[in-house]
Amino acid sequence: MAERKKWMRWVLYAVQLLVLFVLQETPGLLPFVMGAKPMLILAAALTIAMVEDCVPAMAFGIFAGLLADFGGGSAMGYHALVFGVLCFLLSGLCGTRIQIHLFTAILMGLWSCAVAVLLDWLVLYVARGYSLAAYALLNAYLPIYFYTLLMIFPCYGLQFLNRRFLGRR
Amino acid sequence: MEKFSSRTFKILIVAVVVLLGILIYSPSAGSSIFANLFGTVSAPLLTAGTSMTEGAKEFVDLDGMSREDLKALYLELSEENRKLREQLVDYYEMKEENASYENILSVKDAMPDLSLTAASVVGRDPGDVFYDFTIDRGSLSGISVGDAVITEMGVVGVVEEVYATSSRVRSILSEETQIGAIAKETGESGVISSDIQFANSGKVRLNYLTRDTQVQPGAIITTSGTGGMFPGDLLIGRVDSVERSNTDSSFYAIVTPYVDVKTVSDVFVITDFDGKGDVQANLPEPSPSPEAEDPAATAQKGEA
């Protein structure tokens, strides 16, 4: 029974990531705020990592990252690597040192989301030699960060429901 | 609870090594098998998502009608629908198709030498600060890297990556996009480019104008045809103002593109045209610019 619930939970995570990927990529669906749209699959992958074990958390992080790589046109594997490692570390922290609930989920989201967005800025903007890096950070990446952070709430709610009905932590 | 353990760390290391391998392999292999695989799976999903959104938008756009109005309208339409159902089976589909063909025809009439492929925008990544996007046509539709992307209103961008059934388009607002351009009234040439600041405000700049430039606000900017990537005389935008460059003695014009790249939904990809790949095709007389870089040369070098 526990094994079946685990698999059902994982299937739901995969479906959730696919649906959120379609939502975040669909033109005209999510409103622009200060020229930014939220990275829904990042928020979802991070909240999944908060409630799952290290290895499945990493696997879903990699899956979300591959989707992000395809959608964003970055080198295949870059986001998969970042999201995978980030989700692994986040899951390890939440499983051993931090009891996860809404407040700690937001705290964890604050730094993990910041790491992902800062790395995006460094690797996909600064390292490519684009000009006005500080301007880009403040006016393009910071709005993306805050908008994504806002999405931690509904995503955590989804994982909370998932956890309530299908068990885990 | 599975904690940090040597086993989980071993799995992490293996995953990191595999992903690093993919990361290193992908750029060297161009549109790699991984990207193609993901593209093949996700492109139909994105297309379906876009179609559903368009449908939902039409559904909720009721123009503030009252409940009574809506009820009356509903009854009226139900009756009409009953009578005409058989005739209307394919009506909307055909109408949409017809509009699409009219668009293609108008563009093709205006530019008969162009081979065009119509495509829809199906993906916009939130992490992309230059508003690049994904279209629902790929190599199977004859699209290749470097093809110009336009609408009937003007230039939109350049195809950057091609998968089997989808392609990634680098927008005209991207810092990497440079297009040889010309001011139609005065014949002055330059290079259209952008940066994050211009991209945020949806504008581009026409660089390398001389200090005695005759370009005025309101002037129409088109492609010059240099570089062999864009045919000449495609509309780009209208000049807002002319400013002095901070880095040299040249001037630049701030240009508002005719196409709003942030919201564009239907585009055409120019898969072929007379002079494609010919660097010198339609090369205009460059404006004399002793201190600034030669725009024609820059266009040849940078139009990509």
- Range(s) of the domain holding residue A43: 2-166
Q: Provide the percentage of residues in chain B whose pLDDT is more than 90.
A: 30
User: What is the arithmetic mean of pLDDT over B191-214?
Assistant: 91
Q: Do B46 and A26 touch (CB under 8 A)?
A: yes
Compute chain A's Rg from CA coordinates: 16
Distance CA B264, CA B2 (A): 48
Separation CA B168–CA B161 (nearest Å):
5
Contacts of B237-244 with C-beta under 8 Å, sequence gap 24+, read B237/B154, B237/B204, B239/B183, B239/B206, B239/B215, B240/B203, B241/B217, B242/B209, B242/B213, B242/B215, B242/B216, B242/B217, B244/B211
Among the partner residues A54, A72, A80, nearest to B127 by beta-carbon distance: A72
pLDDT of residue B88: 60
Q: CA of A97: which chain B residue's CA is closest?
A: B3
CB B237 within 8 A of CB B252: no
**pLDDT tens digits, one per residue of B7-29:** 888 888 888 888 888 877 766 55
How far apart CA A81 and CA B21 sit, in angstroms, is: 11
Residue pair B183/B219 in contact (Cβ under 8 Å)? The answer is: yes
Cβ proximity of B215 and B188 under 8 Å: yes
Could you report the per-residue pLDDT of B74-122, keeping only the tens digit for each? 888 888 777 776 676 666 667 766 766 666 666 666 666 788 899 999 8
CA distance B153 to B55: 25
Tell me the nearest-neighbour CA distance from A144 into chain B, angstroms.
7
B1 CB within 8 Å of a chain A CB: yes
Could you read off the pLDDT of B158-186 as tens digits, one per residue? 999 898 888 999 999 999 999 999 998 88
d(CA B259, CA B256): 9
B249 pLDDT band, cuts 50/70/90, is: confident
pLDDT at B296 over 80: no
Contact state of A62 with B19 under an 8 Å Cβ cutoff: yes
Q: Rounded distance, CA B137 to CA B20, Å?
A: 29
User: How confident is the model at residue B285, as a pLDDT?
Assistant: 46
Inter-chain residue contact B126 with A144, CB threshold 8 Å: yes
Contact with chain A for residue B128, Cβ under 8 A: yes
Using an 8 Å Cβ cutoff, are B198 and B184 in contact? no
Which residue carries 């293609």 as its tokens?
A: B104
B274 has pLDDT over 50: yes
Q: How far apart are CA B234 and CA B223, in angstroms?
A: 5
Q: B34 falls in which pLDDT band (50, 70, 90)?
A: low
Min mean pLDDT across B150-159, B208-217, B259-268, B282-291 is at B282-291
B42 interfaces chain A, CB cutoff of 8 Å: yes
Contact B262, B131 (CB under 8 A): yes
Domain total for chain A?
A: 1
Q: What is the pLDDT of residue A109?
A: 92
What per-residue confidence (pLDDT) applies to B303?
A: 52
Beta strand extents in A11-126 (DSSP E only): none
Identify which of B52, B110, B121 has the alpha carbon closest to the alpha carbon of residue B268.
B121
Contact A85 B195 (CB under 8 A): no
Q: How far apart are the first and last CA of chain B?
A: 52
pTM of the complete model beyond 0.80:
no
pLDDT at A27 exceeding the cut of 70: yes
Q: Taking residues B135-161, what's their average pLDDT?
A: 91
Instruction: Give the integer Cα–Cα distance in Å for A113 and A65.
Output: 13
**Contact A95/B at CB under 8 A:** yes
Q: Percentage of chain A with pLDDT > 90? A: 59
Do A124 and B168 count as a contact with CB atoms less than 8 A apart?
Answer: no
- Judging by beta carbons within 10 Å of its beta carbon (0-12, 13-18, 19+), is residue B213 exposed, middle or buried? buried
pLDDT tens, residue by residue, A29-86: 888 888 888 999 999 999 999 999 999 999 999 999 988 988 876 778 899 999 999 9
- The single-letter code of the amino acid at B85 is R
Give CA–CA dist A18/A11, Å, rounded: 11
- pLDDT grade, residue B69 (50/70/90)? confident
Contact B287, B189 (CB under 8 A): yes
Q: CA-to-CA distance for B233 and B255, rounded, in angstroms?
A: 16
